[in-house]
Chain A
């Protein structure tokens, strides 16, 4: 089972509401590697993460993705997860009435055969141990899933799930946004602890910040729904120092965004003019 994972994205195109956002992504991730995808807002980074996980809003129109030789795009969302894919989401859902513990146990047991479910004691021990590592209050076990969690708590909870589920391909979508420096260090330590030959990471971020703590092996820059430049960790440092303009210039890109419209300013209709 413990063969080194291989995750291959080949010519991936995806649309949302008929609008093409991903315009042909190629990428190969192997066990032990950490890839960072960087780029300004609106270039399609999060779409890549969501499309890979199989979010119903996105439609893959072209290309293939394989996880350990299996066709990922042919799988349902739950099957993708069971095949080893994990996405730490930028905006995790809040679900009232479902405790963190119920949720995680269901997720773990979904990977086990009937009759072979994880024992409650073992589960609680594991959760408490990992929560300790992430400096989370054990009470979070019994809190409703993400309900009333701060931004940082939600992100930690995503990392906790990753630690519990031990996936072979991990995508972290803007896991660093909304984190203060202490929380960032804790999250980074969690990721580093999970770094192994049995696991490949795809880290989506638009800041260098996280990469100070989690050293990537490869850095890719995304613009206009494509990977426009790839390199080693030095590329991230250059981006941090010089921004993205030099790449745009180098490649003759004027508008780096893709398919996202500027939000129109609308006069609020429910307001009433002041009396005086």
Chain B
């Protein structure tokens, strides 16, 4: 055992846990392979962020939480994301290592939609899952993806059959409230041809005494002509280190929309990537981030164009308070052959204190001539003239700051197509920005 490559968990325990959960053999083998591979793989190299200095070994151990049959019996923290009295037909709640609540409407079931925690979906849909699991993000990309493959639990499996269009959002909630318990959900979404679906989730924590690593992976497969809207708000305590890879593979004329709120209080790394594989496919990513305290964040959005006539747009806006640090990366890659593609990106960072550090790194990597690509980036502090203007109308300094900060986030928040997510983001931002 070398010092750097110590795995938090032994291969033998991974194998035996997988067997005791009656997981299919392919998965047990993959988990075992992954834990072995993780020992030799490196951590990802992140721009200007020493992730190797983060405390990345607190994974906890698998602990099954007790299921509940009614949303009323959910832990209070989870219930706070639900409107009282409203029916929740399509909802999955994971507490620590396992799902404790799941429901899917009869209407969707009848149409062949599968909405379940990924762990239980393995019983009936093992072959289907095997075809896609860890195929957008690969097990051996780096130490984190390998560890995720070995350790993942709970999660979500969403399968939308061809042509099925689902109007109202499917929701899930991920709650970690025990720092001894592993919390490593894997989200797998497959939208078959010409289907459409909106998925919304929240990551939250409660009463954590010690450190915990959340090492999550999201994989989305948007088939020909489908449209997937994926919204996610992460709002976990200071003690949680949040590592998250989100990746979509987008086929001909399909579209993925990402709406991400990076609202944690602890260190975080996220990488949200759209792979525009098919002709005419498109992607849109909107990321909002509020960092406080001495938080360190590294947030990447990425679009990789393979297909002709593909288009991508990425917008990230980050507000930094106190001595928070955020490295915001935008990467537009247009591959040879992706003619007539269009990739646009904007990163803006607003720093509210002289000790906050922000960095916006737009990157265009273009290997094709007949394309359009553009980027805009800015890092700055609150504009003195703007403050003066607002105050000259009788508005207090505090209120003027608030207007300007929300105004900074508003162009992204206002575009969020799901009212509930928009409201959640506003509420969380307000809490994080409150004095």
Contact with B along A76-98 (1 / 0, CB 8 A): 11101110001101001101111
Report which residue of A93, A103, A107 has the largest number of chain B beta carbons within 10 angstroms of its beta carbon. A93
Instruction: Count A-B pairs with CB separation below 8 Å.
Output: 79
Count A interface residues, CB 8 Å: 28
A144 and B392 in contact, given A93-B383, A93-B385, A106-B399 (Cβ under 8 angstroms): no
Q: How far is the CA of A80 from the CA of B394 in the complex (A)?
A: 7
Q: How far is the CA of A82 from the CA of B394 in the complex (A)?
A: 5
Smallest CB gap from A164: residue in B = B393
CB-based contact A95/B391 at 8 Å: no
Assess whether A215 is interfacial by the CB under 8 Å rule. no
Contact with A along B388-399 (1 / 0, CB 8 A): 111111111101
CB-based contact B407/A78 at 8 Å: no
Residues of B within 8 A of A93 (CB): 383, 385-386, 388-389
CB-based contact A92/B389 at 8 Å: yes
Smallest CB gap from B383: residue in A = A93
Q: How far is the CA of A78 from the CA of B400 in the complex (A)?
A: 10
Assess whether A165 is interfacial by the CB under 8 Å rule. yes
Q: How far is the CA of A106 from the CA of B403 in the complex (A)?
A: 9
Smallest CB gap from B317: residue in A = A97
CB-based contact A103/B393 at 8 Å: yes
Contact with A along B356-397 (1 / 0, CB 8 A): 000000000000000000000000000111101111111111
Report which residue of A56, A78, A80, A92 has the largest number of chain B beta carbons within 10 angstroms of its beta carbon. A78
CB-based contact B409/A97 at 8 Å: yes
Contact with B along A33-72 (1 / 0, CB 8 A): 0000000000000000000011110000000000000000
Assess whether A27 is interfacial by the CB under 8 Å rule. no
Report which residue of A56, A76, A97 has the largest number of chain B beta carbons within 10 angstroms of its beta carbon. A97
Assess whether A111 is interfacial by the CB under 8 Å rule. yes
Nearest CB in chain B: distance from A173 CB, A: 11
CB-based contact A97/B411 at 8 Å: yes
Q: How far is the CA of A78 from the CA of B403 in the complex (A)?
A: 15
Partner of B403, one of A56, A98, A165: A98
Smallest CB gap from B409: residue in A = A97
B380-435 interface with A by 8 A CB criterion: 383-386, 388-397, 399-400, 403-404, 406-411
Partner of B406, one of A56, A78, A97: A97
Nearest CB in chain B: distance from A157 CB, A: 11
Residues of B within 8 A of A76 (CB): 391, 397
A98-125 interface with B by 8 A CB criterion: 98, 102-103, 106-107, 110-111
Contact with B along A147-172 (1 / 0, CB 8 A): 00000000000000100010000000
Smallest CB gap from B407: residue in A = A97
Nearest CB in chain A: distance from B57 CB, A: 41
Residues of A within 8 A of B399 (CB): 106, 110
Q: How far is the CA of A263 from the CA of B406 in the complex (A)?
A: 38
CB-based contact B390/A95 at 8 Å: yes
Q: How far is the CA of A93 from the CA of B408 in the complex (A)?
A: 14
Q: How far is the CA of A135 from the CA of B333 in the complex (A)?
A: 48
CB-based contact A106/B395 at 8 Å: yes
Q: How far is the CA of A98 from the CA of B404 in the complex (A)?
A: 7
CB-based contact B396/A144 at 8 Å: no
Smallest CB gap from A167: residue in B = B394
Residues of B within 8 A of A144 (CB): 407
CB-based contact B392/A81 at 8 Å: yes
Residues of A within 8 A of B388 (CB): 53, 55-56, 77, 93
Residues of B within 8 A of A102 (CB): 403
Nearest CB in chain A: distance from B333 CB, A: 29
The 10 A-B pairs with the shortest beta carbon distances in the complex, nearest first, are A97-B407, A97-B410, A81-B394, A98-B407, A107-B393, A93-B389, A77-B391, A110-B394, A78-B391, A93-B386
A sample of 15 cross-chain residue pairs with beta-carbon separation below 8 angstroms, ordered by A number, consists of: A56-B388, A77-B388, A77-B392, A78-B392, A78-B395, A78-B396, A78-B397, A82-B394, A93-B383, A93-B386, A95-B404, A98-B403, A107-B395, A111-B394, A165-B393
Taking A54-B392, A77-B392 as known contacts, 20 extra A-B pairs with beta carbons closer than 8 A to each other, sorted by chain A number, are: A53-B392, A76-B397, A77-B391, A78-B396, A81-B394, A86-B393, A92-B389, A95-B403, A95-B407, A97-B407, A97-B409, A98-B404, A98-B410, A102-B403, A106-B390, A106-B403, A107-B394, A111-B394, A161-B393, A165-B394
